[in-house]
Amino acid sequence: MTGATVDAWLGIDLGTQSVRALAVTGDGTILATASAPLSSSRDGNRHEQDPEHWWQATTAAIRHVLASTDTVIRGISVDGTSGTILLADATGTPLTQGLMYDDGRAADVLPHVNEAGHDLWTRLGYRRMQATWALPKLAWLQANHPDIVRAPGTRLMHQSDFINSRLAGQLIASDLSSALKTGADLINETWEATVVEALSIPPQILPPLVRSGTHLAVVGPDAAEQTGLTRGTPIVAGATDGCAAQLGAGALTPGDWNSVVGTTLVLKGVSASIIEDPLGVVYSHKGPDGQWLPGGASSSGAGVISRDFPDGDLARLERAARAFHPGATTTYPLVSNGERFPFNAPEAQGFTLGKPTSEAERYAAVLQGLAFVERLCFDYLDYLGADTSGRLLLTGGATKSAYWSQLRADVLGRDVHLPENAEPALGAAVLAAAGTSGRPTAEIADRMVRVSTTITPRSDYIDRFGAPYLSFLASLRDRGWLQNDVAAHARRNL
């Protein structure tokens, strides 16, 4: 126990393998964290979880946090996996399993969904949905289980909606972030009646919509007894786990970007206006204060390292790799076939320019290649007119390597910042604090999110990456994956 009682905000992150709870003070001090495991059921392209298990894991994680510190929770917010849905009855009791974010059963109905919403998807910038998105899954439920969809009182819930409803003891609104993949009109912040009608979805099953950071309800008596939270604790609308992670990194001011390198590379930023992308590889969430949160996810990433160097001494390889930077040997590090950002090329495959003469040079080629992909992502965002002039915050497993972070700063030619603790649960706690204070979310994040390290590019390295980067661009263009005008724009930025 910490002794003194302090005010804190609680963020809940509903992941795939666990539920994580985090209590943090207004100045960013993490008081306690806890997690509880989740299990999944997979069958081919189907992936389900039991919503009741989400609630059991949530209550366990909250109780552990509360037992670990003397704190008064002033607000709670929940984030969840993007595109995960279920159907529940009027009391919030699940009528289906949770259809998870990567459940692909809706492929057969996807063409109908994209036809029904073509005009709206175009206005929103993503142009087309994918089979794993929430609206196709809802259309699949409508086609295969109409008795459930059309039963009186049935309600569509996103993953976080289910937990929020359990906390409140009543059905409540859904956040716009979670509703993006369910086809919500984020510009007008409502459901598009023509799309709903075209898909024969009963409009009454769709929840009301609010922005992330909106006060929803308060913790009810049943949830207070089960979790240990104080009855009446405010519940604030959360976001998807990806948007919550962006908030946890502190990227909330227009021009700021959060670059996440884990298994794959994901960029998320902040814009005053929606970004229109003719390829549809960049799409925007609606931010808590009305700003837009554009982003894209590459199929390239550090997953190539675990795949291609499964038994390698990575620390030794990294030290040896430094001698090969900048280098003429560059690997395009696709984790799997097909690229989705910064260009759309389903046929794309990884390749290596040059012939590495050692394992160290092969490793160096991967590090350089992913840094080049990251730079091309920013060049493409600049091509689209996105503001990239703000802070660049690096998160994800790759930041454990100080050298790789330095290399990325060198290739980008700009300062990069490493947050002390950037995780979705922290971003959810930021929303909880903003929603209970009435202050702008960016202002709250400035106080609660701490940057541990700032890395400045080495002046004698920046220009030396120009030639190998140009070769990388040419190789992508020659393969027909990168558009000529995008390649030309990237060359102008050198």
pLDDT tens track, the chain, 494 positions: 445 678 999 999 999 999 999 999 999 999 999 999 999 999 999 999 999 999 999 999 999 999 998 889 999 999 999 999 999 999 999 999 999 999 999 999 999 999 999 999 999 988 889 999 999 999 999 999 999 999 999 999 999 999 999 999 999 999 999 999 999 999 999 999 999 999 999 999 999 999 999 999 999 999 999 999 999 999 999 999 999 999 999 999 999 999 999 999 999 999 999 998 988 899 899 999 999 999 999 999 999 999 999 988 999 999 999 999 999 999 999 998 999 999 999 999 999 999 999 999 999 999 999 999 999 999 999 999 999 999 999 999 899 999 999 999 999 999 999 999 889 999 999 999 999 998 999 999 999 999 999 999 998 887 899 999 999 999 999 999 999 999 999 998 88
Q: Are residues 211 and 336 in the same domain?
A: no
| Alpha-helical regions (H) of 45-198 | 51-68, 110-116, 118-124, 134-144, 146-149, 159-168, 176-179, 193-198
Last residue of a domain, one of 223, 241, 259: 241
* pLDDT at site 4: 61
Q: Are strands 234-236 and 215-218 parallel, antiparallel or unpaired?
A: antiparallel
Is 433 a member of any domain?
Answer: no
| Alpha-helical regions (H) of 279-358 | 303-308, 314-321
Helix, strand, coil abundance in the chain, percent, nearest 5: 40, 20, 35
Q: Are residues 184 and 300 in the same domain?
A: no
Q: Are residues 227 and 291 in the same domain?
A: no
Q: Record the pTM.
A: 0.92
Is 217 a member of any domain?
Answer: yes
Nearest to 410 by CA among 326, 493, 330, 334: 326
Q: Which domain holds residue 53?
A: 6-241
Q: Which long-range contacts (CB under 8 A, 24 or more apart) does 461-466 make?
A: 461/325, 461/326, 461/410, 462/410, 462/413, 464/326, 465/326, 465/368, 465/410, 465/411, 466/494
Are 474 and 367 in contact, with CB atoms under 8 Å apart?
no
CATH of the domain at 156: 3.30.420.40
| Alpha-helical regions (H) of 153-266 | 159-168, 176-179, 193-198, 221-227, 241-249
State which amino acid sits at residue 227. Answer: T
d(CA 160, CA 231): 19
Which residues, listed in sequence order, are joined to residue 262 by a DSSP beta bridge? none
H helix or E strand, kind and range, residue 267: strand 265-269
Is 447 a member of any domain?
Answer: no
| Tokens describing residue 49 | 């979880």
Are 78 and 212 in contact, with CB atoms under 8 Å apart?
no
Is 299 a member of any domain?
Answer: yes
Q: Are residues 161 and 283 in the same domain?
A: no
Q: Are residues 180 and 292 in the same domain?
A: no
Q: Are residues 366 and 388 in the same domain?
A: yes
Distance set, CA 390 to CA 270, 358, 365, 439, 459 (Å): 9, 39, 29, 21, 20
d(CA 444, CA 12): 18
What is the number of domains present in the chain? 2
Are 5 and 72 in contact, with CB atoms under 8 Å apart?
yes
Is 435 a member of any domain?
Answer: no
Nearest to 183 by CA among 211, 209, 145, 148: 209
Q: Are residues 211 and 323 in the same domain?
A: no
| 215-218 sheet: strands from edge to edge | 30-37, 18-24, 6-14, 71-79, 234-236, 215-218
H helix or E strand, kind and range, residue 39: none
* pLDDT at site 1: 42
Are 392 and 414 in contact, with CB atoms under 8 Å apart?
yes
Last residue of a domain, one of 241, 274, 294: 241
d(CA 157, CA 47): 17
Is 73 a member of any domain?
Answer: yes
* pLDDT at site 325: 94
DSSP string across 409-461: HHHHTS-EEEES---HHHHHHHHHHHHHH-S-HHHHHHHH--EEEEEPPPTTT
Q: Are residues 405 and 362 in the same domain?
A: yes
Helix (H, G, I), strand (E, B) or coil at 95: coil
CB atoms within 10 A of CB 328: 13
Distance from the Cα of residue 301 to its chain's centroid? 15
Q: Are residues 417 and 310 in the same domain?
A: yes
Is 394 a member of any domain?
Answer: yes
Last residue of a domain, one of 182, 217, 241: 241
Q: Are residues 406 and 464 in the same domain?
A: yes
Q: Which long-range contacts (CB under 8 A, 24 or more apart) does 39-44 make?
A: 40/16, 40/100, 41/97
Are 10 and 432 in contact, with CB atoms under 8 Å apart?
yes
| 41-43 sheet: strands from edge to edge | 41-43, 46-49, 98-99, 85-88, 155-158
Is 441 a member of any domain?
Answer: no
Label residue 30 left, alpha or beta by phi (over 0 means left) and psi (-120 to 50 means alpha): beta
Q: Are residues 13 and 93 in the same domain?
A: yes
* pLDDT at site 2: 45
Helix (H, G, I), strand (E, B) or coil at 62: helix
Q: Are residues 156 and 110 in the same domain?
A: yes
